[in-house]
Homo-oligomer: A and B are copies of this chain.
Amino acid sequence: MNTDRIEAAIEAILFTMGESVPLEKIAAALEIEEEEALAAIHRLMKHYESEERGIRIIELEDSFQMCTSKDFYETLIKVAKAPKKQVLTDVLLETLSIIAYKQPITKMEIEKIRGVSSDRAVSKLVEYGLCKELGRLDAPGRPLLFGTTEDFLRTFGVQSLEELPVISEDLVEQFKDEAEMELDEELEQDVEVQV
């Protein structure tokens, strides 16, 4: 490996690790002497400093770490502050409605109802603070249970979950009847031709 390539390799290592990496480890990965590695790191450090880059390499007791240059904290704060474009998509709303009505509910049960894996939707709802983990179900695998938060109630302007519009037994029955009727019709058609 020539010196340029050693520098590039060290850059890649420090970038990927994010945390501080002992010189020893760097040298071992590159299969070179620690001295040679150290010299390369120092060249790399100077390089970053002299060009006033956004990244710095710092030394911490024989370890090295890549980090953000302090000059740009202001800019980073603006990035952090920038409002994320947040939208409740159909998928999120659907998942939220299931959690609201069926809580406490596991991810597996949500998946069973929706017919598709719902990991991401649940995570997003938790991230938004509309849902939270309520504990674990006392069953094999001890799956997490999810429910809605106080923020959910506040946002929708209700005091308690009892205020959720009721899903009547009648309605559920009605759905069942409808489904059965459709099937009966299909069957009848089948039977007709068999007579």
A8 nearest in chain B by CB position: B54
| Interface of A (DSSP majority class) | helix
A70 nearest in chain B by CB position: B12
Q: Beta-carbon contacts of A38-64 to B below 8 Å, as 1s and 0s?
A: 000000000000011111000000000
Q: Beta-carbon contacts of A65-84 to B below 8 Å, as 1s and 0s?
A: 01011011001101110100
When distances are taken between beta carbons in the complex, the residues of chain B under 8 Å from A76 are 12-13, 16, 29
* Cross-interface CB contact of A133 among B7, B68, B91, cutoff 8 Å: B91
CA distance A25 to B76 in the complex (A): 11
Q: Beta-carbon contacts of A115-142 to B below 8 Å, as 1s and 0s?
A: 1110111110011010011011000000
Copies in the complex: 2
Distance between A11 CB and nearest chain B CB, rounded to angstroms:
3
A17 CB within 8 Å of chain B: yes
Distance between A146 CB and nearest chain B CB, rounded to angstroms:
9
When distances are taken between beta carbons in the complex, the residues of chain B under 8 Å from A5 are 52
- Known A-B contacts A54-B10, A117-B123; A68 and B136 likewise in contact (beta carbons under 8 Å): no
Distance between A183 CB and nearest chain B CB, rounded to angstroms:
15
| 20 additional contacts (CB under 8 A) given A11-B53, A12-B76 | A7-B54, A8-B51, A8-B53, A9-B72, A11-B55, A12-B55, A13-B54, A13-B80, A15-B55, A15-B66, A16-B68, A17-B79, A25-B79, A28-B78, A29-B75, A29-B82, A30-B75, A90-B135, A116-B123, A117-B127
